[in-house]
Structure 1
Amino acid sequence: MDAGDTETVSVLAPVGMALLGLKTGHSIERTSPQCRPLKIKVLDIPCQPEANLEYDL
């Protein structure tokens, strides 16, 4: 899936910032702007070069 798909979250959104640093399988609980409870789980991280010590892209 690509950015903008219905199941993606922008890292610029508050909930996206809360996901930074989590690993696949981890989850967070937040409240939506409409005051609904959300539980968001990291399903996949398609590109993570730093995990393989690849810092030169």
Structure 2
Amino acid sequence: MRALLWIVGVVAGVLILLGLLLEAVRWLIIIGLAALVVVIVLAAVKTRRVLNRPAGRR
């Protein structure tokens, strides 16, 4: 009986840790995608500034 309780406890702990890990991975993916969008927007803005500068200042 004691071994069964240990097995159930270990399995429950693994499932809880796996759930937390999957949740963390999901949030990291969301944060990474948001950062990627910000980088693309900043690159586009910087490129437009460079292209709109007068030719003599390049």
TM-score (norm. length: structure 2)? 0.19
Q: Give the greater-gyration-radius structure (CA).
A: 2
- Which structure has the highest strand share of the two? 1
